[in-house]
Amino acid sequence: MIQTGIVRIGKEPELRTTPSGDQVMELSLAYNYGRKGDDGKKPTQWISASMWGSRAEKLQPYLKKGGQVFVVVTDVHVHSYEKKDGTPGVVLRGRVSEIELIGGAPSGESAKSQDKPQRAGSLDDLDDDIPF
């Protein structure tokens, strides 16, 4: 299954290196779908997604909790696991095959913060070798 759309990043992306030296970033993505409920909000579907390779390392500074991105997530599937309390759990998992930065800084964050990369709407500030 493929999931495409605009999502919010649910928590700070985690970048790690596998034992074989590959870069992988884990993302928690929130999709809104369907009709608004009585509370005026649409339901949310969470997907745990991974992004592999040098692209993950280069994009990680620009992906922040609360930020919006357009993504194409492939190989979406239900993954079963055992929770800490021993009960079974399930999570929707997939792999980010395409990503595009959109929107501004998440609420409460300044786009011109000195201690964080600039989150401009333009991609002109990014390295030329980012493959998207």
46 is a domain residue: yes
Contact 106, 65 (CB under 8 A): yes
pTM: 0.71
Domain limits at 52? 3-101
Instruction: Give the pLDDT confidence of 10-61 residue by residue, as tens digits.
Output: 999 999 999 999 999 999 999 998 899 999 999 999 999 999 999 999 999 9
109 is a domain residue: no
Phi, psi of 57 (to 5 degrees): -65, -40
129 is a domain residue: no
Here the CATH number for the domain that contains residue 77 is 2.40.50.140
106 is a domain residue: no
Q: How many domains does the chain have?
A: 1
96 is a domain residue: yes
| Other Cβ atoms closer than 10 A to 6 | 13
User: Considering only CA atoms, which of 30, 33, 27 is closest in space to residue 48?
Assistant: 27
